Amino acid sequence: MDKKQSIIEINNLSFAYNGRNVLEDINLSIKPGSFLGLVGPNGSGKSTLIKCLLGLLNPEQGEIRLFGEKLGRFHKWEDIGFVSQKANSFNSGFPATVFEVVSMGLYGKVGLFRFLTKKHKEKVREAIEQVEMEEFMHKNIGQLSGGQQQRVFIARALVSEPKLLILDEPTVGVDAKSVKRFYTMLKDLNRNKGITLVLVTHDIGAMTEYVTDVACLNKHLHFHGDTEEYEEQEDDMMSRMYGHDVQIITHNHDPHHDHSADGGRES
Ligand code: ADP
């Protein structure tokens, strides 16, 4: 792959649910090695954009390229890791150790746990070390805190050595101190391992000191630039993002629509 080629290239993308546009004319290019914070208020279209990127939704307009390939032709899905807030849902009774959960990240390659070779197990250990969870390796996942569980899910995504890692609101339900540690770990992964990261969050304040670039979404892409440029324009951006447009979106938003249960609604 050409080093400068975008990892993600989005051109003129629009998406509507039942005729109502939630993304309009999005153009965004993400360069290899960047750590992008994709921010916007709740309901601003962040998850919809990620679902379009992952091929889960079909936009009526626009083009998406992943690693230079048109989405419809792209097949190297093992190059992309994905962690969502919903990953963090193991209850205290779930009977799998950290090591077992992380090794599930290799199942696509090797099949079941019993087929893991020594080399695979070494990779699992490395991934666990990358997220600084080695002391919990043989603990049940259900005994860990929310922040620790999220680090385990990052390790599960890392074990297949993705080039791009997408995290959709990964710190929901994680306490403030653990969020800092979590972001520091992501920054290290980005810097030291060269993994391109896209962090989706509604909480911009917490992440500006960790990311290299910021994109602000609220139906339209209001801003995309490096962190320094963002900080220069922050006040203006906040009023644009949390002002006029968000009211239009919340006006149409069904207050009874339960986000956590909408998995099957889109076609
Ligand atoms: P965010 O991730 O920024 O919170 P979403 O992409 O989840 O925003 O949602 C954007 C808008 O689309 C919201 O108004 C939301 O209510 C609406 N929406 C999300 N999923 C569906 C769906 N499956 N069907 C209809 N509307 C949806």
The total of structural domains in the chain comes to: 1
Ligand 1 atom closest to 217 (CA): 3
Residue with tokens 């205290």: 92
Q: Containing domain of residue 47, as a range?
A: 8-87+162-257
The pLDDT of residue 92 is: 57
Residue 101 lies inside a defined structural domain of this protein: no
Residue with tokens 């080093």: 3
Separation between Cα atoms, residue 83 and residue 151, nearest integer Å: 10
Q: What is the pLDDT along the chain (267 residues), one digit of tens a residue?
A: 555 789 999 999 999 999 999 999 999 999 999 999 999 988 999 999 999 999 999 998 999 999 999 999 999 998 999 988 765 566 556 788 999 999 988 866 555 666 678 888 999 999 999 999 999 999 998 888 888 888 899 999 999 899 999 999 888 777 888 888 889 989 999 999 899 999 998 877 778 889 999 999 999 999 999 999 998 888 777 777 776 543 333 333 333 343 433 333 332
**160 C-beta closer than 6 A to ligand 1:** no
CATH of the domain at 15: 3.40.50.300
| Atom 16 (ligand 1) nearest CA | 253
**17 C-beta closer than 6 A to ligand 1:** yes
Of 52, 262, 267, the one to substitute when testing ligand 1's pocket (max ligand atoms within 8 A of C-beta) is 262
Ligand 1 atom closest to 202 (CA): 3
Of 13, 14, 47, the one to substitute when testing ligand 1's pocket (max ligand atoms within 8 A of C-beta) is 47
Residue 108 lies inside a defined structural domain of this protein: no
Q: 218 with 186: CB under 8 angstroms?
A: no
Separation between Cα atoms, residue 13 and residue 48, nearest integer Å: 11
Residue 154 lies inside a defined structural domain of this protein: no
Q: Which of 217, 180, 213 is nearest to 36 (CA)?
A: 213
Tokens of 100: 């077992």
Amino acid at 98: V
Ligand 1 atom closest to 257 (CA): 16
The pLDDT of residue 106 is: 85
Amino acid at 194: G
Separation between Cα atoms, residue 20 and residue 141, nearest integer Å: 40
Cα 39 to middle of ligand 1, angstroms: 15
**262 C-beta closer than 6 A to ligand 1:** yes
Tokens of 139: 């603990």
Residue 148 lies inside a defined structural domain of this protein: no
**pTM greater than 0.90 (yes/no):** no
Cα 5 to middle of ligand 1, angstroms: 30
Cα 42 to middle of ligand 1, angstroms: 9
Q: What is the CB neighbour count within 10 angstroms for residue 132?
A: 15
Residue 52 lies inside a defined structural domain of this protein: yes
The pLDDT of residue 146 is: 82
Q: Which of 144, 146, 164 is nearest to 9 (CA)?
A: 164
| Atom 18 (ligand 1) nearest CA | 17
Residue 179, C-beta contacts closer than 8 angstroms, at least 6 positions apart: 147, 171, 206
Residue 65 lies inside a defined structural domain of this protein: yes
Residue 250 lies inside a defined structural domain of this protein: yes
Q: 150 with 87: CB under 8 angstroms?
A: yes
The pLDDT of residue 112 is: 63
Q: 65 with 14: CB under 8 angstroms?
A: no
Cα 54 to middle of ligand 1, angstroms: 16
The pLDDT of residue 265 is: 34
Tokens of 152: 């385990």
Residue 131 lies inside a defined structural domain of this protein: no
Pairing of strands 20-30, 196-201: unpaired
Helix (H, G, I), strand (E, B) or coil at 172: coil
**217 C-beta closer than 6 A to ligand 1:** no
| Atom 6 (ligand 1) nearest CA | 45
Give 202-255 as a DSSP string: S-HHHHTTT-SEEEEEESEEEEEEEHHHHHHHHHHHHHHHTTHHHHHHHHH--T
